[in-house]
Copies of this chain bind each other. A is one copy, B any other.
Amino acid sequence: MVYIVKQKIHGREYYYLRESVRKGKKVVSRTICYLGKTREEAEKKAKEVMESMKKKVSSEKESAERDLSSKPSLRKLKKLNPSIEELATFCKRRGFVYPSAEIYGGYSGFWDFGVLGAELKKNIKDCWWKFYVYGRDDIVGIDGSIITSPKVWEASGHVENFNDIFVICKKCHKANKVDAAEIGKVRCPCGGEYDFENAKKFKLMFETFVGEGGKAYLRPETAQLIFTNFKFVYGNSRLKLPCGIAQIGKAFRNEISPRDFLFRCREFEQMEIEYFIKENQSCPYEIPDVEILIYSAEAQEKGMDAERMSIRKAYKKGIIKNDWHAYWLANCFLWFKGLGANPERFRLRQHRKEELAHYSSDCWDLEYEFPFGWKELQGIADRGNYDLRRHEEFSKKDLKLFDEKDGKKFLPHVICEPSLGVERAFLVFMFDSYFSDVEKGNIVLRLHPKLAPIKAAVFPIVKKKEFEDLAEKIVNDLKKEWNVVYDRAGSIGRRYARNDEIGTPYCITIDGDSLKRNDVTIRDRDTTLQVRVKINELKEVLRRLIEEGVSLEEVGDPI
């Protein structure tokens, strides 16, 4: 129930819109917004607010976008669906991402992250590390080198097998890669015929020379550094199987045709886990009961649609056959969901037999619906003990573990490797947070507070020394913990809009009352609701908002 209340503060009257909601046995009331100082004004504004709330609910239901309706809001947001080119333009304009060496015309497949992009990328990596490494007691992290002994890549099979076949189109003269099975059978997207007679093998690994000329490679994946260090790490960290080793770091692939902005680059960053078990060891963890589109190999072969169901149920029905795969697919999905990605745009797709890598006996991908189609984010492949076995053979070192129960040595199996490109996660979060303000027209980048490049912008309402001094003092205190900026320039409206557009979740203003009452206002980016907070409680309040996911209405009464 929504109703108007009048409050008297220091002898003056103020009107507010309030709402009562039944929670279990209790009725809870909360203020939705401030309406003004006279009854007429209040009634007019209340009508507007309520209509805007209704409209929002219905437009959101129509577009099946994320649910804002549970939050009171003074703002109507519309989900935009930019193309990848539009997103790239936005990223360049707002300082998220530039083509590398742009002043020299760029360099295909390489990108530089600007001020905001560097922060977003760092936050993605930190959230991943906290979720998978700090958050679990069965995973530890390492940080291996990009260039390592070339013997590693001989053992892994990359030197021999990590190639593409590339052909030139006779019509558009562009190079494209084709599968071995496609030779003589496919045409260029432009319609032209390929010159299959001059098809060439194309090495995907970047080569370099170390010291006085020894050939070496830039790692095409971080995984091998985990395998070569496996036994040391296992020994040092006192892990017990089942357990994983995680790593975040750059990897390089000499793609013939980099494309789709950050989606397929030549230099990228991987967030990878190799998860080890004793062969046939079952998963001791409960598979999360979370719904997603599931697209089995069978459904793909029969031309059927993907089916929405709980991952736990999919495992129980035998669609996902391996308990570990079901468990990790669910966790990978939950990581994205927990950071505000739109769950509607995700699906699990099983690799068809012909897609499986040489070392893999089963593989599922967590896919996301990009503007250019469903694409892989994260592959959950069963690598068996292929890698450790090969490194044993090539290094002549014993990489086996000892089983105290049966007194025998064994080589652990990799049951899956939830490997994710930072740049792909970057795209997902950018796409899913890309909204516009229906009335004002500006972009509102609804990044999760943990991901937002700037956590809060602080500004004085008035350009006066005492306001500015207080603002500066507050900024300096908050900067010790977060990336917080003092925003000086332009009108208040312009400052809000600018911060909305770069995803700053909270704007903190110092107004006339701040000096008298030692408090500030905090404005929520997504709802534009504001609360007043005492300055000495501000840090703790921001911590709850940013780190603990508390909503603004929970830290104070909206004004």
Contacts and interface: CB of A to CB of B under 8 A. Distances in A.
Main secondary structure of the interface of A (DSSP, over half): mixed
Contacts of A135: 479-480
A214 to B, nearest CB: 9
Nearest to A111: B145
A106 B119 CA distance: 34
B233 A152 contact: no
A115 B235 CA distance: 11
A391 B103 CA distance: 8
A94 interface: yes
Nearest to A203: B209
A529 to B, nearest CB: 27
A163 interface: no
A68 to B, nearest CB: 26
A104 B137 contact: no
Copies of this chain in its oligomeric complex: 2
B137 A485 contact: yes
Interface residues of A, number: 87
A148 B110 contact: yes
B114 A483 contact: no
B266 A210 contact: yes
B212 A208 contact: no
A152 B489 contact: no
Contact of A143 (B117, B394, B486): B117
A218 interface: yes
B110 A147 contact: yes
Given A104-B149, A148-B107, A118 B95 contact: no
A86 interface: no
Contacts of A250: 146, 250
Contacts of A209: 206-207, 254
Interface of A: 92, 94-95, 98, 100-119, 121-122, 129-130, 133-137, 140-149, 151-152, 175, 202, 206-212, 218, 225, 228-229, 231-233, 236-238, 247, 250, 252, 254, 256, 266-267, 391, 394-395, 397, 399, 475, 479-486, 489, 547
